[in-house]
């Protein structure tokens, strides 16, 4: 088996390192936290020091511990929501693209409706009716978020499936008499892998945003620590206005960094799918080393010899996936 | 025209779905939220008001779900969105006060950010591989940052620390003779107070437009027609314009997704700045469990987003002559 043909651009490496760090926090964060996040025994509103790296809240809770503990809930919900939404989009997108006809019309209409509906207000309405004990359940919240986040992936997958539907390998599988399910999920789905990965990253990015937002407006249980709840408490105590930056900057930066890492990985996948974007991903030094002109000339897509491990089956995107 | 007709039908359907979800949610959720709410309210509001709330959810307990559904739609058609008990007013009369603030703020912000993002994105795509590419990681970071967090940071630095902007509210509420209306002083005050929220929203949303446009532009620059126009010796400005005009189409076609996200994010920016718009209203409604108000806001937001989508479709029609042919594809 050949080594993974993944573009090794600096963007991808940085993205992987950041994401790896936060996955580490997700697993070990609660054990690494020096204090309990609910412990109110410290003096209120301490600025960052050696004892309290990120200071304390107005109730005297250690913000560093809250940030570490909060990583788990945030990442787990985002992961659950992202995976569930991607499953839905695979199911709906591939079925619509492959079966076509009436099924396609129905499913496409459904995804278009969900695309046009503003996702977050819908989430807020659904969530505001949830009983309080369900609001602390990561699984339920994740699944509800996934309901509003699958449509984009389904649309992209459908377009790609339609372009694969009449390729020879699918034709021959059909002639051999493979079952429809098998063709859809063993023949077509593997060829959608780059798009699938990109859609997964995009959905996780959306889910983090959605979950944190729900927590920020106080619609998740405050008994579960996540980065959104921290921001909720900071906002309800007017931390930005009174200059208590250490209260809301750490959780906010964590969210932004996780998001950035996902977006950077997505860039890598985009460059993998669309080689024209790839040359743009090389730094000036790399380009000089490879003997490429610093400014690219028009009309030519520069091809780097050492990176010619491009995918054999070139995948065309009708809609370049950008978050 | 066919395109617009089809889109209109889609938006009508979407709005109907929103209405139906709005109706079904309180009826299907475990724990009967309407009954709980009315139980809590008994004694604090008049029986007539309770009847009005009940009517806005589709009427009485002893009716079938279907007949309640028709009552609900009938109420909506008469513009009756229910009664907000926290404000002791009709939901529609409250919304009339708050919606203009939001539409002005988000509309202007989206317009500015689309313009800036598309222009810089086109330039980035054109000069791909140059030093300007270092903007991309920064843009990615801004794109991944939640709107409300960026707004909090802006509030901290530019209003709280530096004092360049007024920190909160939509106009100077402490000035004695300043009342909402079309007076010169009021408009000036509102413009002054709107600056920081506006900048926050633009800063949060500009990166998305920029990166999307850049990717399309990079693809477009490698097309034959661009090479051809350069070979013909057209001035550079015209070539860039031709390429950009083609590259911007997918960006506009994808507006439907983007508008929803921008509006959702911007609503929370209002919250950070205590801006008197729908977002702030929504938060207050949530914390006091004022369900009629939450539902009314949801419908209004949906309607506004769909209208914005329709506007984007019209712009698309204007820019892409291919969609104007009457021949069926």
Answer whether B209's CB lies under 8 Å from B117's CB: yes
Contact A280 B282 (CB under 8 A): no
**Which of B 57-96 lie inside 8 A of A, CB atoms?**
none
Cβ-nearest to A298 among B26, B148, B221: B221
In this complex, do A320 and B250 lie within 8 Å of one another by their Cβ atoms? Answer: yes
Ramachandran bin of A291, using left for φ above 0, alpha for ψ from -120 to 50, beta for the remaining angles: left
Residue-by-residue pLDDT tens, chain B, 329 positions: 677 788 888 888 888 888 888 888 877 777 667 777 777 777 777 777 777 777 777 666 667 777 888 878 887 887 777 777 777 777 888 888 888 888 888 888 888 988 898 898 888 888 777 777 778 888 888 888 888 888 888 888 887 777 787 777 777 766 667 667 777 777 777 777 778 888 888 888 888 888 888 888 887 877 788 888 888 888 888 888 888 888 888 878 777 677 878 888 888 888 888 888 888 888 888 888 788 888 888 888 888 888 888 888 888 888 777 766 655 44
CB atoms within 10 A of CB B269: 29
Q: Do B149 and A128 touch (CB under 8 A)?
A: no
pLDDT for the residue B176: 65
Q: What whole-number distance in Å separates Cα of residue A247 and Cα of residue B9? A: 48
pTM, to two decimals: 0.83
CB contact under 8 A, A116 and B127: no
Q: Which of A89, A115, A116, A235 to mutate: most B Cβ within 10 Å?
A: A116
Task: Enumerate the residues of chain A whose CB falls inside 8 A of the CB of residue B310.
Answer: none
pLDDT tens across B158-168, in order? Answer: 877 777 877 77
Q: Strand B83-84 and strand B89-90: pairing?
A: antiparallel
| A207 contacts: CB under 8 Å, gap ≥ 6 | A77, A78, A79, A81, A82, A85, A142, A145, A146, A149
Domains of chain A, by residue range, sit at 2-290
- CB–CB of A248/A230 below 8 Å? yes
Q: What residues contact residue B22 under an 8 Å CB cut-off, 6+ apart?
A: A125, B295, B298, B299
Residues of chain A whose pLDDT is less than 50? Answer: 1-4, 307-323
Are the C-beta atoms of residues B50 and B38 closer than 8 Å to each other?
yes
Sign, CA dihedral B207-B208-B214-B215, equals positive
Tell me if the domain spanning A2-290 has CATH number 1.10.3720.10: yes
Chain B, window 199-228: residues with a beta carbon less than 8 angstroms from a chain A beta carbon: 208, 211-212, 215-216, 218-219, 221-222, 224, 226-227
For position B326, what pLDDT does the model report?
A: 54
B-chain CB neighbours of A132 within 8 Å are none
Residue B212 region by backbone torsions, left for phi larger than 0, else alpha for psi between -120 and 50, else beta: alpha
CB pairs under 8 A between A and B: 206
From chain A, pick out residues whose CB is under 8 angstroms from the CB of B268.
Answer: 213, 216-217
How many residues are present in chain A? Answer: 323
List all residues 6 or more positions away from B235 whose beta carbon is below 8 Å from its beta carbon: none
Q: Which of residues 200-239 of A touch B (CB under 8 A)?
A: 205, 209, 212-213, 216-219, 231, 234-235, 239
| A71 vs A69: CA distance, rounded Å | 5
**Are B145 and A264 inside 8 Å of each other by CB?**
no
Tokens of A168: 């020879």
**How far off is chain A from B179, nearest CA to CA, in Å?**
25
Test B254 with A258 for CB contact under 8 angstroms: no
Residue B118, chain A, CB below 8 Å: the answer is no
Q: Which of A118, A125, A263 sits opposite B144 (nearest CB)?
A: A263
Cβ A270–B215 below 8 Å, yes or no? yes
Query: What is the token pair recorded at B223?
Result: 């097309």
Show which of residues 89-108 on chain B sit within 8 Å of chain A, judged by CB atoms. none
The confidence score (pLDDT) of residue A307 equals: 47
In the block, tokens 């939901």 appear at B91
A124 touching B (Cβ < 8 Å)? yes
B298:A295 CB<8 A: no
Distance CA A285, CA A287 (A): 5
| HSE (side-chain half, CA atoms, 13 Å) at A7 | 28
Residue A53: other Cβ atoms inside 10 A: 16
Query: Which pLDDT does position B116 carry in this prediction?
Result: 92
Nearest to B7 by CA among B213, B212, B255: B255
| pLDDT number for residue A1 | 38
If phi > 0 it is left, if psi is from -120 to 50 it is alpha, else beta; for residue B88 that is left
Per-residue model confidence (pLDDT) at position B270: 85
Nearest CA in chain B to A123: B298
């Amino acid at each position: 088996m050949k080594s993974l043909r993944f573009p090794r651009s600096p963007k991808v490496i940085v993205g992987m390192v950041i994401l790896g760090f936060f996955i580490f926090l997700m697993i070990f964060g609660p054990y690494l936290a020096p204090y309990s996040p609910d412990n109110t025994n410290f003096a209120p509103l301490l600025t960052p020091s050696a004892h309290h790296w990120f200071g304390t809240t107005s109730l005297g809770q250690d913000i560093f511990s809250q940030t570490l503990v909060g990583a788990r809930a945030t990442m787990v919900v985002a992961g659950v929501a992202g995976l569930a939404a991607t499953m839905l989009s695979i199911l709906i997108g591939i079925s619509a693209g492959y079966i076509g006809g009436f099924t396609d019309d129905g499913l496409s209409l459904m995804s278009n409706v969900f695309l046009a509906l503003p996702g977050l207000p819908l989430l807020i309405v659904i969530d505001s009716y949830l009983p309080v004990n369900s609001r602390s359940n990561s699984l339920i919240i994740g699944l509800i978020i996934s309901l509003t986040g699958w449509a984009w992936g389904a649309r992209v997958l459908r377009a790609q499936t339609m372009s694969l539907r009449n390729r020879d390998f699918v034709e021959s599988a059909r002639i051999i008499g493979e079952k429809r399910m098998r063709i859809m999920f063993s023949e077509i789905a593997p060829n959608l892998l780059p798009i699938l990965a990109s859609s997964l990253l995009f959905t996780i990015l959306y889910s983090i945003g959605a979950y944190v937002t729900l927590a920020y407006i106080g619609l998740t249980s405050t008994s579960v620590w996540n980065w959104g709840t921290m921001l909720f408490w900071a906002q309800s105590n007017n931390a930005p206005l009174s200059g208590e930056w250490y209260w809301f900057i750490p959780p906010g930066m964590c969210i932004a960094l996780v998001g950035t890492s996902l977006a950077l990985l997505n860039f890598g996948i985009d460059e993998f799918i669309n080689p024209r974007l790839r040359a743009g991903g090389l730094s000036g030094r790399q380009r000089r080393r490879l003997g490429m002109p610093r400014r690219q000339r028009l009309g030519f897509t520069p091809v780097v010899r050492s990176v010619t491990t491009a995918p054999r089956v070139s995948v065309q995107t009708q809609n370049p996936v950008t978050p | 025209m066919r395109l617009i007709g089809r889109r209109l039908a889609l938006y009508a359907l979407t709005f109907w779905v929103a209405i139906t979800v709005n109706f079904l949610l309180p009826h299907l959720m475990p724990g009967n939220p309407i009954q709980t709410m009315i139980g809590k309210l008994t004694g604090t509001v008049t029986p007539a008001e309770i009847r009005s709330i009940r009517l806005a959810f589709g009427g009485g307990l002893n009716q079938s779900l279907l007949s309640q559904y028709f009552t609900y739609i009938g109420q909506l058609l008469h513009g009756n969105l229910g009664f907000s008990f926290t404000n002791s007013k009709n939901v529609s009369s409250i919304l009339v006060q708050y919606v203009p603030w939001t539409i002005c703020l988000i509309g202007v912000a989206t317009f500015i950010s689309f313009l800036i993002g598309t222009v810089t994105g086109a330039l980035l795509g054109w000069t791909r591989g140059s030093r300007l590419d270092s903007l991309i990681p920064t843009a990615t970071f801004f794109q991944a940052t939640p709107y409300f967090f960026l707004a909090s940071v802006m509030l901290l630095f530019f209003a709280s620390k530096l004092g360049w902007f007024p920190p909160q509210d939509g106009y100077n509420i402490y000035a004695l003779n300043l009342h909402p209306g079309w007076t010169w002083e009021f408009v000036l005050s509102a413009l002054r107070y709107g600056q920081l929220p506006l900048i926050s929203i633009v800063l949060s949303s500009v990166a998305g437009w920029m990166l999307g446009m850049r990717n399309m532009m990079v693809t477009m620059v490698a097309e034959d027609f661009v090479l051809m126009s350069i070979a013909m010796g057209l001035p550079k400005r015209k070539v860039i314009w031709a390429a950009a005009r083609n590259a911007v189409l997918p960006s506009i076609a994808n507006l439907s997704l983007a508008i929803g996200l921008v509006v959702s994010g911007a609503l929370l920016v209002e919250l950070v700045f205590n801006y008197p718009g729908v977002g702030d209203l929504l938060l207050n409604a949530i914390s006091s469990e004022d369900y009629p108000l939450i539902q009314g806001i949801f419908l209004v937001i949906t309607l506004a987003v769909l209208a914005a989508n329709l506007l984007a479709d019209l712009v698309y029609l204007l820019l892409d002559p291919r969609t104007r042919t009457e021949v069926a594809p």
